[in-house]
A and B are shown apart, each in its own frame.
Chain A
Amino acid sequence: MIEVRSLTRRYGSVVAVDELTFDVAPGVVTAFLGRNGAGKSTTLRMLLGLDRPTGGTARVDGRAYADLPAPLHAVGALLDSSAPHPGRTGRDHLRWLAASNRIPSRRVADVLRLVDLSADAGRRVRGYSLGMRQRLGIAAALLGDPPVLLLDEPTNGLDPEGIRWLRGFLRDLAAEGRTVVVSSHLMGEVGLTADHLLVVGRGRLLADMPLAEFVAGQGGPRLRVRTPEPERLAGVLRATGAEVDLAGGALAVGGIAERRLGEVAARHGIPLLELRRDGARSLEDAFLALTAPVPTAAPREEVARP
């Protein structure tokens, strides 16, 4: 269980993290999404006691990270800003981490096997591919068998097969009742994995809701309408509060149901030649719209909540 309350971090006049408040529940995969520079990594570093908050608190199991008696048993973290020493072997990297938290050394062999690095564990990290380093980082996060996992951009450097493996693996970890947080700047990478979304933009929380609700809320149906009087129809639909784009001879309409659109047209005596659903906007579109530098899809002052 992770509790973040009014967490804020300023660098001079720049606000990297702005009054973030959220909880992360166990048993599901939570995607922590935002564009590069949105404040994801800073938030995770503050959760891990690496960066000092300007204000607010971040707690794991009710405690500040630095007060956890054996932190690797409580939280496993993969940080984008961290790397194993290139001159050390993968196994030695895990050995010192294990020793620091009194984790039995057989666990080192276990996690190496889990990420399929046993054969390369005796090699120096300098010779590892990006994907191997990432797998070593995941092994390090799992070392203490922690109930909470914080993975910052874990798919970086993984090949498609590795990404698929990771998705399944994260789902399994969540199914065991763990709290799993995966950050990403790419919606698609976690869209298939996550149950719950936390979306941040410019340090602020933009959305905190189940994935399904996010899709429904952001992508709502768009209607495609053809009529001999497009301008007039656009005018009357806009008057009802619908969003209308005139594209070619057709109209793309959002924010109004089919039935109501038909009724409005009939009342004004405008014939409809075609009325159909244009399909939901893709998750990626919804994400991009939500996190757009100049927000259009969601007012930034309000946090969307379930």
Chain B
Amino acid sequence: MTLTAALRAEWIKATSLWSTRVALAGYVLVVVAVSTGVAAAIGVEQARLDGAEYDPGVLAFYGLNFGHVAVIAFAVLLTASEYTHRTVHASLTAVPRRGVFLAAKVAVGAGLVLATAAVTAVVTLLATQAFMGEYAVGLATPGMLRATAAAALYPTLLAVVCMGVGLVLRDQTAALSLLVPLFFLVSPVLELVPGLQRAAVFLPDRAGQVALRLHDRPIDVFGPAVGLVVLAGWGAAALLGAWLLLRRRDA
């Protein structure tokens, strides 16, 4: 039983459900629509008001704040839902080595999110900039290529964190009700609390989003590359936890 066979199995699993396809399609739709809508409605006005402070990365990928709910859902559907629907016993009798199972599942999940998010990032950039008039930027603008790459990598690494958490919690409802409020509400709000700001930027989503910006903010304690590394560290920790528990617990 090899990793490639397990990868093929996970690929069929991930692509043979409506729910997972809807989650990925939802991500594309939400990110492109929200980003473009915001750019079209207030983009130029905002850029003029912000002046030198204007951050084209933040505006171009504004929709990611909503899109990551779809990423969380996708990650949970691949992991905790196997337990909720009791298919995990079949998975682990077919692929009994827990490390191979985990590696195949996370690789397929991350790969699908990366492909989806990369296409979405480019489309979003082009669509939003069409409404930005004199403030329009492109991949050639210094920092914008990196921000666009981050718009693909940030959701991918966030999905890895969520897949790890999904395998630890082993319950669809529990995983969704922890992750969605955490990354949609709690974490962004903590970043606004004066005493907590410098700690809040280390949270997975906040750290990853640092890489979307072209300008540093006063509260930032690290740059874009370190931001993605911090997020990847959360992902590694979540996977390590998942792996240890997969080995130790009854399926």
Contact = CB atoms under 8 A, between A and B. Distances in A.
- Size category of the binding interface on chain A: 35 or more
B17 A87 contact: yes
Contact of B8 (A79, A81, A84, A100): A100
A96 B86 contact: no
Contact of A100 (B1, B17, B87, B248): B1
B92 A140 contact: no
Nearest to A137: B90
A101 interface: yes
A97 to B, nearest CB: 5
Given A71-B1, A83-B86, A100 B16 contact: no
Contact of B16 (A51, A75, A86, A92): A92
Nearest to A141: B93
Interface string A88-102: 110011011101111
A277 interface: no
B1 A96 contact: no
Contacts of B89: 45, 48, 50, 79, 81-82
Interface in A80-138: 81-89, 92-93, 95-97, 99-102
Interface stretch (B65-73, B94-102, B143-151): B94-102
A213 B242 CA distance: 49
Interface residues of B, number: 32
Interface string B52-94: 0000000000000000000000000000011001111111111
A32 B86 CA distance: 23
B96 A49 contact: yes
Interface string B157-172: 0000000000000000
Given A51-B250, A84-B87, A100-B9, A69 B1 contact: yes
Nearest to B247: A52
Contacts of B250: 45, 50-52
B92 A49 contact: yes
Contacts of B226: none
Interface in B1-30: 1, 5-6, 8-13, 16-19
Given A71-B1, A72-B94, 12 more contacts: A45-B251, A48-B96, A50-B93, A52-B250, A65-B93, A85-B82, A95-B12, A97-B94, A100-B1, A100-B5, A100-B91, A102-B5
15 contacts: A48-B93, A49-B93, A50-B89, A50-B92, A50-B93, A50-B250, A65-B96, A71-B1, A82-B93, A83-B87, A93-B90, A96-B10, A96-B16, A99-B8, A100-B6
